[in-house]
Structure 1
Amino acid sequence: MYISITKQHLNNNFSQSSSDFVDYLEKENEGVLPEMQEPFFNQTTDEIPPEQVIKEIDGNTAKLKKVEPKFYSLTINPSQSELKAINNDPELLKKYVREVMKDYAASFHRDQPVTVDDIKYFAKIEYERTFKGFDREIRENQPYRVQIVRLENDIRKVERGELTGNVVAMHKKIAELKSEIPHKLEGKPIEQGMKKPGFQTHVHIIVSRKDASNRYSLSPGSKYMGSVSKLNGKMVKRGFNRDLFYKRAEKTFDTLFNYKRNFVETYEARKSYLKDPHHYFAHLLGLPTNERSAAFKILGKAGVRVPQVNIPTNKVQMALKTIKQFKKAMDLARSSSSIGI
């Protein structure tokens, strides 16, 4: 599970309104019959039109300054394994989102407990993802594409008389490169913009910065995890505990759907990897054989190339070079959000 929290963009290219973001989330509904479109939903309602989302988010900004974000975006990205566990069922995913938003509310540090009823949010399920430049498939196909484009340009120059060369040989070389290109989808080389195969279902959530009563600020972007400060002469609690939220969100999924989570899928593993990759790798290698095999399989599907070398399991004897190779592969997978690590 990979969950991200992002504040509203407020530079000159973005509107103060939530309309730009809502329009972006409507992209999969373009050209689709009304009865087949995916609507917004919240804690109590399944079908909410985009116009209502904009009106409610934009109208819930009392006393916020122009430079302050009016809303935050949460993105919930279940893994292929997690989606398979719920049969990619949108109703089960909605059920999960509604439970996660309870976890989100409970992660605020306030004098009075925050509940989901205090949160104004709207969620939307999307079913597609496209390949982007940072994806492993695009990066590894790129050297072949560069050669193919260069040859195609040379052929045009030869045909215009600007260059001498054997066009037949150039076409043959292009055919060879196309056959050798490492990543294909239905026989075609994978390019940016192509839809990714398999389950790609994920959820976008737009959450108001202000509580549902439009009186209090509930910012998940606060740098404080949980502290007490003086406000108008009174000591008050403040902050949002992201660490707690991510742990609860993971546990909620596992509990709801009886999901048996592998070590590499856990939030604790993500933290271990970021803070101490040596410890992470040692733990990974120390897993029981079946779990370790499953872990490497999960990583492989996420685009992480596990080093194919004889790696000793003793922590002291671990090869530093191998760990660095593994960390580099993991960083690439994280940058493409292909795995929640």
Structure 2
Amino acid sequence: TFKGSDKQIQENQPYATKILELNQKIRSIQHGETKGDINKMKKEIERLEREAPHQNNGKRIVRDMSKPGPQSHIHIIVSRKDASNRYSLSPGSKYKATVVEMNGKLVKRGFDRDLFYTNAEKTFDTMFSYKRNYVESYKARKTYLKDPKLYFLTITRLPTNQKAIAFNLLQKTGVNTTLLSMPTNKFQLTLKAINTLKKGIGKAIESGSIGI
């Protein structure tokens, strides 16, 4: 559904505000508190509804309205314990992605999250001929959490066209990329700069719904 942070909602907001004000005036007139031409106000509301820049099936897009097109997502569910109920299958467990002998047979246990995400990205990109930018990759997200400075430096060292795409993607999520626009040979991130960028990048990663 559409949320308050979506471009469509933000650009429709001036129209929504005027419509709300007119509806309040109409209610005030109906209650005898003020005087005015209700029909004229209703026509003005109809005009604002039509002229709002973002529409969906002929209706002004508002918060909580369903977005058009497929909106599917996937949940991967992994059991907390293995079949013997002895070993944790958590991605952070010490038993992660190991092989043990069980009932005379070698059995894989655990869940290798890194391998899962890497293979999922490769499969998606191949299937849909998608050219994934560095900032969209699982590797980049892990680098950001472990070494933010390396993450930012890597972005500045991308080929020109890839760096432009990276900046555009980050800006769409509200990240201020001014600091990243400095020439690479002069790029020195202070602690304050890192914290400023981390705040924005963190929100961007959260919005991607990818847990690490």
Give the structure with the higher percent helix: 2
Match of 2:144 in 1: 273
From 293, 304, 308, the counterpart of 2:173 = 304
The structure-2 alpha-carbon separation of the partners of 1:192 and 1:243, relative to structure 1 and needing over 3 Å to count, comes to same
The structure-2 alpha-carbon separation of the partners of 1:185 and 1:295, relative to structure 1 and needing over 3 Å to count, comes to farther
Match of 2:6 in 1: 136
The structure-2 alpha-carbon separation of the partners of 1:261 and 1:335, relative to structure 1 and needing over 3 Å to count, comes to closer
Where does the alignment leave 5 or more consecutive residues of structure 2 unmatched?
Answer: 99-107
% identical aligned pairs: 40
Match of 1:203 in 2: 74
Structure-2 separation of matches of 1:332 and 1:182: 27
Q: Is the counterpart of residue 224 in structure 1 residue 93 in structure 2?
A: yes
Structure-2 separation of matches of 1:224 and 1:340: 16
The structure-2 alpha-carbon separation of the partners of 1:221 and 1:164, relative to structure 1 and needing over 3 Å to count, comes to farther
Match of 1:51 in 2: none
Q: Which has the higher contact order (CA 8 A, sep 6+)?
A: 1
SS at match of 1:155: helix
SS at match of 1:203: coil
Match of 2:22 in 1: 151
SS at match of 2:33: coil
Displacement after TM superposition at 1:161 (Å): 0.9
Match of 1:289 in 2: 160
Q: TM-score of the superposition, structure 2-length normalised?
A: 0.60
Q: How does 1:64-143 map to 2 (within 5 A)?
A: 130-131=1-2, 133=3, 135-137=5-7, 140=10
RMSD between aligned residues: 4.6
Q: TM-score of the superposition, structure 1-length normalised?
A: 0.42
Q: Which runs of 4+ in 1 moved over 6 A?
A: 255-258, 338-341
SS at match of 2:188: helix
Give the structure with the higher percent strand: 1
Displacement after TM superposition at 1:275 (Å): 4.0
Displacement after TM superposition at 1:158 (Å): 1.6
Contact 2:49 2:59 in 1 (8 A): no
Residue by residue over 1:212-244, the C-alpha shift from the partner in whole angstroms, topping out at 9 and shown as x without a partner, is xx544675446424479xxxxxxxx98544334
Where does the alignment leave 5 or more consecutive residues of structure 1 unmatched?
Answer: 1-129, 229-236
Contact 2:80 2:90 in 1 (8 A): no
